[in-house]
Structure 1
């Protein structure tokens, strides 16, 4: 089995190296990851310039692009064989609730799923990894990956995994939760009196909704959320059919 490992924290991230080392127990593992931190770039794809990839160690490629770029290059250019599995992470900090729309970690797994390859995104709810946290995370992901390859997922589905720090009480299958955010943009002045803006206000918590990823991790459980690549709201389609919508062809 050939496994492609990537992330959005950068190719030198200890979480990525730990993940790749663990996945190597299941099969040949190749790393294709951004050459620097590319957190919160979402599902961005680089189209306005060429990409460069450097093999910094055998089987480890650094790409001057986004996590989505890395998955594309890994599947279509850098690796001679199509990977059987893509794993993204281990991210520094959780990717739950609304945060998944910004996450490069989750978007890398999404891209793999769009390409028809089974994928797992893995995040650890800690800004600094401890050895024990990484051990728990890597052991769990290996078990999950083994089951994923044996039992398969429905088409167009991938897994978003969030792991609490400080140990875990169990595993829950969850839905995407809802974050609550504080002030989203900080406005300040530089020493020359010019305004600057810093996007990314601190999170102030989450909606305490049972069965969601945020709720599970806050209670000390590993959260596994199956995500779907098709964003269509089927219920809204039925509702919209009752709207009086028509096209104006511009005629008199």
Structure 2
């Protein structure tokens, strides 16, 4: 099995080291194409106005001046001699759950792999960012290899990507695995207005934690109970339930 590994936190991210270990537990042929710098929050963006610069780091490991989506295309179309059998994206620093999946470069890389007809899995590790606690990478390191293997054995349908999130706890405290729905977050992005030395305004996007209505059966609910969350996501965004509402508009 040939595995392509990527992420959105960049080529030097500790989560990429963890993901390489996970991939190498599954296969003897692991390729890495990851962004040269942190690309968090860029979602499914492409680099269209600048060239893509590829740098060889070591055998089968490359850094690309581009987005996670660019990295998947580069890996599949250029770097690998044969198409991968599996794409793994992550391990992201922090959960990618609920509405956050729409922002995530980690998820986007798995989406691009799915569009290229390669089974793709995104992996993210939760941590308590409020307290500045260390990220418990060992949860993903311990539990991911067997879990990914089981997902592969079950099969991943065309047009579907798998989003796996690991809870913020010790590896031994994981309660189990739940198959979950995508939850919904209360929007937490705000603007922090500041002035530069010439009193011209500029802004930082900031995140403020908001009260959440956690629904049973969702990714948020599972992770709060220290379960690993597996959420199948689909590329087809059609709201089938709304089509009937607008059916009389058709001519």
Given candidates 200, 218, 227, the residue that maps to 2:206 is: 200
Greater shift, 101-110 or 163-172, is seen at: 163-172
What corresponds to 1:234 in structure 2?
A: 240
What corresponds to 1:175 in structure 2?
A: 181
What corresponds to 2:195 in structure 1?
A: 189
Query: Quick check: which has more Rg, 1 or 2?
Result: 1
Does structure 2 retain, via aligned residues, the 8 Å contact 1:177–1:207? no
Partners of 1:233 and 1:169 in 2: how far apart? 34
> Considering only aligned residues, what root-mean-square deviation do their CA atoms show, in Å?
1.7
Uncovered stretches (5+) of structure 2, i.e. residues with no partner: none
Q: TM-score when scaled to structure 2?
A: 0.92
Does structure 1 retain, via aligned residues, the 8 Å contact 2:189–2:205? no
Partners of 1:183 and 1:91 in 2: how far apart? 19
Partners of 2:247 and 2:206 in 1: how far apart? 38
Does structure 1 retain, via aligned residues, the 8 Å contact 2:119–2:156? yes
Shift of residue 138, structure 1, vs aligned partner: 2.2
Once the two structures are superposed, residues 101-147 of structure 1 have per-residue CA deviations (whole angstroms, 9 ceiling, x without a partner) of 0000000001101111111101111257858x322212322112212
Uncovered stretches (5+) of structure 1, i.e. residues with no partner: 247-252
Aligned length in residues:
244
Partners of 2:211 and 2:124 in 1: how far apart? 17
The reply to whether residue 12 of structure 1 matches residue 12 of structure 2 is yes
Partners of 1:155 and 1:205 in 2: how far apart? 36
- Cα 1:183–1:151 shift into 2, 3 Å: closer
- Cα 1:74–1:97 shift into 2, 3 Å: same
Q: TM-score when scaled to structure 1?
A: 0.91
